[in-house]
Each structure stands twice: as structure tokens, then as C-alpha cells.
Amino acid sequence: MSSPAPAFDSRPQGVSDERILVLDFGSQYAQLIARRVREQHVYCEIVRHDITAAQVRQHQPCGLILSGGPSSVYEQGAPKCDPRIFELGLPVLGICYGMQLACEVLGGNVASAPAREYGRARCQVRSHDDLFAGVPAETDVWMSHGDQVSRVSDEFEPLAATRSCPIAAVRHRRLPVFGLQFHPEVTHTPLGGTVLRNFLTSVCGCQGTWKLGDFARQTIDQLRERVGSGRVICGLSGGVDSAVTAALLYRAIGPQLSCILVDNGLLRKDEQAAVLAEFTNHFRADLHVVHAEERFLRTLAGITEPQEKRRRIGHAFIECFKEEALRIPDARFLAQGTLYPDVIESGAAPDGPAATIKLHHNVGGLPDQLGFELIEPLRDLFKDEVRRLGLELDLPEELVWRHPFPGPGLAVRCLGEVTRERLDILREADAIVVSEIRSADLYRLTSQVFAVLLPVQSVGVMGDNRTYENAVVIRCVNTDDFMTADWSRLPYDVLAQISTRIINEVRGVNRVCYDISSKPPATIEWE
């Protein structure tokens, strides 16, 4: 079935000739939907679920996607959309809650499912037009719902079904409205990308003209306009996030950028020297280095609770930043490399139900006491997108592909009390882990690798002596977006070499373990 032409000129203005709007009904996957759309080279924005039809028209999108959400559409107070959006003639794709809402608005019924579906399901495709072009008659999909569409009006045609969900996909016979009960945006739906691509190309008519370079150009222009003649302070950490943030700002405002590196004593081995070298080679901005190891060690003395560690580190970081910022005249803005996974795990996503997994002292900006306006140009991006953006900005691959490092540094990898002695043990062990992963040509094939120092000792035998020393855990994961991650299947000989070197070369360690937990249920970092 061909889709009706849009009821108005849908050519957007600005960054791209094509764009899709994702209406967010509180789903943790809303940003993932946007990311999947951008992977098809179509510009995508997330907007509130209650955006009006008139406001949608102003955005001039090629199509709309209604996200999932934690509510039931029949509950009092459940989020709704403006029903007039279905009168605009725009292609609409409802996913999970979005499908249920679209079907309800257009004459169907939604009820609690007789059998809830969570996880992988086998889907039988009845129609291979439009959404399911190129998809086999049976395909795996990822379900996550307790409600489902129990009845659709005669205007809808069922497209697919699972064993417990007879209406797993639908198409409106007259309007360009489609619905999927499963989640095509997650990797657990192997052909979900094909389904989304079909919606974008066959239904919305998108050609895929947007590139990440367009995002860079638009962001640079926006930063230049917002900052004007003001000065921006950017915190450097040595990671790709802060480097890309600094690169965007440097392209936008040049000498109006001042960077601050807080050496809190919680950095990896030789980290400060590496950051200084990279900064000198790639930027000519004003750089301030704050030597604050003693301050951070004092504030962490005796503290073992993870969230309290993060809180104290954040407070000390703010104080250091504040003191140094007072030495920078005319500073008005503070730039941070906050990414979307940081926002989600901090429970800070607007209109979202995400629980707080861990505190991030950077998410949402430093407290108002700093008196700066916050700039977070990467807030809507995932890690892999940031890396591609770094390459667009001509940052060196060595920097772009550096594994992530947590804001609180080694303090959240040094379980138990943080002391200089324990940090030195951890630093040496961590350096060996990274060195051996590089030597085995596995650094680019893994997403994050590091060592963790446990607050326990174990018995060992070294030479003819009994030892009672520390245990170190190796953590290595693979992931695309850091929202989920799987533990890396490292070769045994690599693990053996890492273990041998750590035990032989790092005084105070007599046992090495390997973490085989995935995220979820575990997190990537231990604290």
C-alpha cells in the first residue's frame, strides 16, 4: 500500500532536508529510537508527547514515531498525544505504548494481555509490503509489554502476530499510520533496523541525506551564536567526551575557550601528561591545571559507600573548579561532555521514568553556586556517535577510541577506602591490563577494559612464603551504546599474561579474577 502524500510542504529548515520527530511517552528507549533513525542518515529530534499538531507542523517533519512508555493507555492520567496529529497526513509509527495509543485514538481497544510478553518472541509476518519488505515470514522480535491491542477498528489491517499477541503489527487502511507491539530499536530484534528503514524510506520517503557532520556544523553555529563574545570554561578529563566538547567549542569560538584540568589524584597512570600533550597538539586555547590530589584524598578519607564517594568527589571538584574559574576573567559559560547514558542512569531524563542508578556530578550541570550557564553539546548522543563526531572534527584516532573513564576516576574502581597506597596498586594493575589488551590488538575490539581493586585480601603462596594480599578484578566489556553491555570473551592466553604480570609486578596483589557479568543486571563500573 502506498502512503498518501503529506498534507503540507514537509521540507524542514536548518540542519537537514529530512527529519523525524519522536514523541516521548516516558520510554527509556526514546533516545535509542532516535539513534537508530540517525543511523539511517535521517535527522531526528525527540519532543514531548503532548506536542500539539500546530507545533508538529512548525517542525515540518517527514514522519512521526510514538515511543513506548511505562503506563497503560486506559489508566487515568496516562500520557496522551494530540489526536489531531493523525489528521496531518504525516506517516506515523507507534511502538509498543505508541501503537496502543494510536489504535485507541483511531477506534480500537487496549486491555491487559492474557499472557504478558517480556523478552524474545517469534513473530509471524502476514504482509510483506511497506514495513516488512525484506523480512522473512518468521522473525525474532523483542517484546516488553503487559497490555496489548485487543481489538482494532475495521480501518486497521493486522500485519503480524506472535503466539500470545494476535495483533503484533498493524496498518491503517486509509491513513499512513502503522503500529508495532515489539521494539524494532533494540538489538534483540535482529531485523528491527530493516523495519525502521522501511518506515523511513518506503513510508516517509526519506532519502537519508543527513550526516553526523551536519550535526557538527549546526552545533558549532549554535554555540557561536549563543556564546557571542563571552568566555566558556570546559573541564578536560582525558576522555573523548570532554575532548569532542572542547573541539566543538574551539571551532566555534577559538580563543574565547578556557579549559581546566583538575588533577584529583584519581587519574590513570600518566594521565595528566597525556592530556597535556594532546591538548597542546590539537588546541591553542587557554589551559589551567589544578593540582588537587591532597584535597581529594582528605575528603575521601575513611569513606567506603559508593554514592557518598561520588557526592564528595563532586563537591571537591566543584570547589576546585570554582576557585580556578575565579581566576579566569569574564567566564560566563560552563561546558561539559555529558552523554545521554549519563542522563538516563542519573534519572535526569525529562519526562522519563528512569531510576537513579548512580550519581554523576556533571549531569544537569554543576550547582548554581558556580554562577555559569551550562553548555552540554553532546547530551543527546551515545558514545559511538561521539566517537564518529570526533573523527569528523579531525581529532586523532588514538584519542577518539580511548576507552571511557568515569568522572569520579579510580575512586569508584578502588572498592572500600580510597588511599594513596591503594590507588597506586590499582594504577599499576590497570596500566598492565590496558597494555596487554593493546599488545594483543584487542583494544579497538573491546569497548572498555580496566582493573578493579577489591577491599578484601586472600591467602597466597609466593616463593616459600604465605601471603595475605589484595585481589584485583579485570573488567572488559563490549557495547555499542553503553546502555547495555556484554562481558568480553578474552582469549585465555591474554588473561593468563595479564594475571601473571599483575601478580609478579604489582606489590600487594596475589590474586586476579575476571568479571563475567553483563549489563544488566550488573553495571559496567563496580561502584
User: Which positions are annotated as active-site residues?
Assistant: 96, 183, 185
Cα 453 to chain center, whole Å? 26
Q: Which residues pair with 121 in a beta bridge?
A: 141
Contacts of 88 (CB under 8 A, 6+ apart): 6, 7, 8, 53, 56, 57
Which run of H or E residues covers position 27? none
| Cβ 176 vs Cβ 4: under 8 Å | yes
Cα 73 to chain center, whole Å? 28
Contacts of 228 (CB under 8 A, 6+ apart): none
Select from 29, 381, 11, 25 the least CA-distant residue to 196: 29
Q: Which residues pair with 71 in a beta bridge?
A: none
Q: Which three cell numbers stand for residue 319?
A: 570547589
Contacts of 3 (CB under 8 A, 6+ apart): 91, 130, 176, 202, 203, 204, 205
Which residue, chain included where needed, has cell 584535597? Answer: 295
Question: Buried b vs exposed e over 385-416: b needs ≥16 C-beta within 10 Å?
Answer: bbbbbbebbebeeebbebbbbbbbbbbbbbbe
Q: Which three cell numbers stand for residue 436?
A: 596487554
Contacts of 4 (CB under 8 A, 6+ apart): 89, 175, 176
| ∠ Cα 60 65 67 (to 5°) | 140
Pairwise CA distance, residues 225 & 217, whole Å: 12
Cα 412 to chain center, whole Å? 20
Pairwise CA distance, residues 498 & 501, whole Å: 5
Which residue, chain included where needed, has cell 590488538? Answer: 441
Pairwise CA distance, residues 440 & 429, whole Å: 17
